[in-house]
Structure 1
Amino acid sequence: MSGPRVGGISTPRKATPDDQKIAEQVQAEVKAKTNQKIETFEVVEVATQVVAGTNYFMKVKVGSTDYIHIRVYQDLSGTVSLSDVKDCQTKDSPLVYF
């Protein structure tokens, strides 16, 4: 079962083009919040949490071996905002609630 669990986040899945579009809406803000060089911005994995809207937990490849996790909130009207950033992640870092 990969759907959202009540109160929790869904099982991580491979990112889609729609996920990438959501992440790109907060890319400038992510770059401003991190102190690391961002060479690329490719969403590779996503988990979601349904609230009054949706929280997207995204693993983003930002360099050849560098990753960050971002949490993006999309409200019911479709407005997207950056909630949090966890830098210094790896390809194998589990995508969990933060």
Structure 2
Amino acid sequence: MSRPLAGGMSAPREPTPDDQKIADQVQAEVKAKTNQKIETFEVVEVATQIVAGTNYFMKIKVGPNEYIHIRVNQDLSGNVSLSDVKECETKDSPLVYF
């Protein structure tokens, strides 16, 4: 699989088990930042951006027909942190830079 150029965002793709593990590391923080009931936390789409580490843009299924987008940064040492959350997304909302 080809990697995007530094600074560019990759095309969205199917998540891997490793992507879900990264999302799971920030799940508690996401729940604290949102005011909605999160019934599930399933990554359904991912795009990446190479920076000083990697930004992960993730579409997360949080309910039967409810989705959010999160941006997570994994630094060069492997530390993971939540950068941003976009609420009120849909299954068809495009995963774009935010």
Q: Is the 8 A contact 1:42 1:60 kept in 2?
A: yes
Determine if contact 1:2/1:11 at 8 Å carries over to the other structure.
no
Equivalent residue for 2:78?
78
Counterparts of 1:1-98 in structure 2, within 5 Å, are 3-98=3-98
Q: CA deviation at 1:7?
A: 2.5
Equivalent pairs: percent with the same residue? Answer: 83
Q: Runs ≥4 in structure 1, deviation > 2 angstroms?
A: 5-8
State TM-score, norm by structure 2: 0.95
Q: TM-score, normalised by structure 1?
A: 0.95
- 1:53-78 Cα distance to aligned partner (Å, 9 max, x none): 00000000000000000000000000
Amino acid at match of 1:53: G
Q: Give me the whole-angstrom Cα distance separating, in 2, the residues matched to 1:6 and 1:16.
A: 21
Q: Shift in Å at residue 8 of structure 1?
A: 2.2
Unaligned runs of 5+ in 1: none
Aligned residues: 98
Amino acid at match of 1:59: K
Structure 2 unaligned blocks of 5 or more: none
Deviations 1:68-93 (A, max 9, x none): 00000000000000000000000000
Change (3 A) 1:2 1:68: farther
From the superposition, tell whether residues 62 and 20 of structure 1 become closer, same or farther in structure 2 (CA, over 3 Å): same
